[in-house]
């Protein structure tokens, strides 16, 4: 799963990206400011940490997601804005979009459009995505109208044309495509287009140290996270002990980096299941609603093909039993589930299979 970071120049987007990567033990080369940068980031999960303490495995494997840092998009410059259109394809390949907007003033950084206004920047970025989708929908409508002149597949073509016409109307009224899709059948019909305004969005307001107190108010009606990319970058350079001390001095219970990664994980409607044992404790990424045989296939196709049962216990039940699997079983909390069982977040599963 991949998250795109977009934002105007001087928003601190790339600084945040470097901090996210560094905190996960990765070093990224961001010297090419005109090119996207990719980092694989581990998803923080205290449940995996506890399971690792209980089972003492040879290896711990957390869930991972990818972050793609896109070049700054200067909507104040018509030439730069038009040139940036070539990057929308990479954003469409992502599963979620994070809008990084600046909320701090600095004498060393020129204000974007002579202002520091995170809400206005977010609104402009959202509008630009609507424009990109509108152009894509318009091009599709032209092709469908041409296809209607041919006798083949007229009914299917007309259905898609009706849907695209309704989506165009929504976009022209500044409504995202995700709000115009009525059901799963329509979502499936347009899935291959990867519309920008159909994706989940999160706003990151990048401020200074004095701006971090209190919860973040929603910006542009979207889930919003307040942080300081500068502080996150400093935290990423410290060892664990110094990092904890620095965070305590700032009154931070956890790093914004961890909150951001988790918010993206949840925003993409992802959950984690766990496999445990002396060799390995691992968090596996699933979509909410995935069934047991789908989960088995994440581990290996042979397990899905030869699926018999999923021996399942909830993380909370094991935690309540102090990590004693026998106590979980004695309490009747160890279950044998079939292939259609919908996996719950935090399930610890041992798959029985035969191939």
CATH (domain of 321): 3.10.20.30
**Does residue 48 sit within a domain?**
no
**Does residue 169 sit within a domain?**
no
- Mind listing the pLDDT tens digit of every residue in the chain (355 residues)? 999 999 998 888 998 898 888 866 667 777 888 889 999 988 989 999 999 999 999 999 999 999 999 999 988 888 888 889 999 999 999 999 999 998 887 766 666 666 788 999 999 999 999 999 999 999 999 999 999 888 777 888 999 999 999 999 999 999 999 999 999 999 999 999 999 999 999 999 998 777 666 677 888 889 999 888 888 888 877 777 787 888 788 777 777 888 899 899 999 999 999 999 999 999 999 999 999 999 999 999 999 999 999 999 999 999 999 999 999 999 999 999 999 999 999 999 999 999 8
**Does residue 267 sit within a domain?**
no
**Does residue 88 sit within a domain?**
no
**Does residue 326 sit within a domain?**
yes
Structural domain count, the chain: 1
**Does residue 109 sit within a domain?**
no
Q: Quick one: DSSP state of residue 196? A: G
Q: What is the pLDDT of residues 78-121, one digit of tens each?
A: 888 888 999 999 999 999 999 999 888 776 666 666 678 899 99
**Does residue 314 sit within a domain?**
yes
Its domain, for residue 295, covers 289-353
Percentages of the chain per state (helix, strand, coil), in multiples of 5: 45, 20, 35
This prediction has a pTM of 0.89
Structural tokens at position 289: 């609603």
Backbone angles phi, psi at 169, to 5 degrees: -65, -40
**Does residue 195 sit within a domain?**
no
């Amino acid at each position: 799963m991949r998250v795109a970071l977009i934002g105007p120049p001087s928003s601190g987007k790339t600084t945040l990206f470097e901090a996210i990567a560094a905190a996960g033990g990765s070093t990224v080369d961001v010297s090419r400011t005109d090119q996207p940068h990719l980092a694989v980031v581990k998803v923080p999960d205290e449940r995996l940490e506890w399971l690792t303490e209980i089972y003492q495995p040879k290896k711990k494997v957390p869930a991972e997601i990818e972050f793609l840092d896109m070049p700054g998009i200067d909507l104040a410059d018509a030439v730069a804005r038009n040139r940036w259109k070539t990057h929308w394809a990479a954003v469409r390949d992502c599963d979620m979009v994070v809008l990084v907007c600046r909320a701090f003033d600095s004498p060393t950084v020129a204000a974007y459009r002579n202002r520091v206004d995170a809400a206005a920047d977010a609104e402009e970025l959202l509008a630009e995505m609507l424009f990109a989708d509108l152009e894509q929908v318009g091009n599709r409508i032209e092709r469908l109208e041409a296809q209607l002149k041919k006798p083949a597949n007229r009914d299917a073509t007309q259905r898609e044309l009706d849907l695209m016409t309704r989506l165009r109307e929504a976009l022209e009224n500044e409504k995202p495509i995700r709000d115009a899709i009525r059901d799963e059948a329509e979502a499936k019909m347009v899935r291959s287009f990867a519309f920008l305004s159909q994706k989940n969005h999160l706003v990151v307001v990048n401020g200074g140290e004095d701006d971090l107190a209190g919860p973040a108010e929603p910006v542009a009606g979207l889930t919003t996270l307040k942080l300081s990319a500068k502080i996150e970058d400093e935290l990423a350079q410290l060892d664990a002990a110094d990092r904890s001390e620095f965070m305590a001095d700032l009154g931070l219970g956890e790093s914004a980096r961890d909150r951001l990664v988790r918010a993206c994980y949840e925003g993409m409607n992802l959950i984690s299941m766990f496999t445990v044992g002396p060799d390995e404790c691992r968090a596996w990424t699933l979509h909410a609603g995935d069934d047991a045989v789908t989960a088995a296939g994440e581990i290996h196709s042979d397990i899905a093909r030869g699926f018999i049962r999923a021996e399942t216990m909830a993380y909370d039940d094991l935690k309540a039993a102090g990590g004693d699997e026998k106590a979980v079983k004695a309490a009747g909390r160890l279950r044998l589930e079939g292939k259609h069982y919908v996996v719950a977040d935090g399930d610890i599963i041992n798959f029985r299979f035969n191939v």
